Amino acid sequence: MSWRPAFWLAAILTVAVDQATKQWALSALTPGTEHQLLGDLLSLQLVFNSGAAFSFGNSSTLILTVVAVVLTVGILWYGRRASATWSAVLLGMGLGGAIGNLIDRLFREPSFGEGHVVDMIKYGDLFIGNVADIAIVGAAIWAVIAGLFGHRLLEHEAATEAEATESTADGV
C-alpha cells in the first residue's frame, strides 16, 4: 500500500527526535533544576520517571515495560490496517512514541526492563514529559478528532484480507 512508507517514516522520525532530545537533555540539563521558557507555564527540567504519566505506577516499572511491549506489538499489528496516509502517520507517531519510551525502559538505569524514562518538558505544575509523550498523546487526540468527524483510522479486516489475497494473486 502507498501509505506504508509514511507509517515507517513517522515512526522512525519520532524515535529519532525523541532520543536526540533525551540525549540533549542528559548533556545540557542538571537533574531537578528548572529552566523557564514561558514563565510558569512551560519550562525544562530533567527528571527520570520510573512510572507512567502523573507518576502513576512508580513502583511497577517492569509491569509498565511489559505493557509498553504489548502496546508496541499492537500498534505494529494494527498499523497494517491504516485506512489512509494520514492514519498511517498517526499510527507511526504512536509507534515511535511507544518505542522511544520503551528504549528508555529497556536500556536506561537502574536495570534492563526497569529503566527510568528521561523526561524534560515541564508543563506548569501538571507534569513533566518528553517528545515520545507528545507523539503518543498527539496521535491519540487526532485519532479521536478524526473519529468524531467520521474518518476511519483503520480499514475493516475484510478489506485488508481481500487486498492481501489480491496482492498474492498478482504475484506481489
Residue 123's region, left for phi above 0, alpha for psi from -120 to 50, else beta, is beta
Q: How far apart are CA 118 and CA 95, in angstroms?
A: 18
When pLDDT is cut at 50, 70 and 90, the band that residue 113 belongs to is confident
Query: What pLDDT, on the 0 to 100 scale, is given for residue 137?
Result: 92
What percent of the chain stands above pLDDT 90? 50
For residue 171, what pLDDT is reported?
53
Of all residues in the chain, the percent with pLDDT exceeding 70 is: 81
The dihedrals phi and psi of 110, each to the nearest 5 degrees, come to -90, -20
Q: What is the predicted pLDDT for the residue at 158?
A: 47
Beta carbons within 10 angstroms of residue 164's beta carbon: 12
Phi-psi region of 39 (alpha: psi -120 to 50; beta: other; left: phi over 0): left
Q: Is 129 exposed, middle or buried (0-12, 13-18, 19+ CB in 10 A)?
A: buried
Confidence band of 8 (pLDDT split at 50, 70, 90): very high
| Domain layout of the chain by residue ranges | 11-25+33-160
Span of 18-27, 81-90, 100-109 with lowest mean pLDDT: 81-90
Task: Write down the pLDDT at residue 159.
Answer: 47
* pLDDT averaged over every residue in the chain: 84
Confidence of residue 147 (pLDDT cuts 50, 70, 90): confident
Q: pLDDT tens, 17-36?
A: 999 999 999 999 999 899 99
Q: How far apart are CA 75 and CA 81, in angstroms?
A: 10
Catalytic residue numbers, as ranges: 119, 133
> 37-83: per-residue pLDDT in tens?
999 999 999 999 876 554 554 555 667 778 888 888 988 887 777 77
SS3 80: coil
H/E run at residue 44: strand 42-49
Is the pLDDT confidence value at 134 over 90?
A: yes
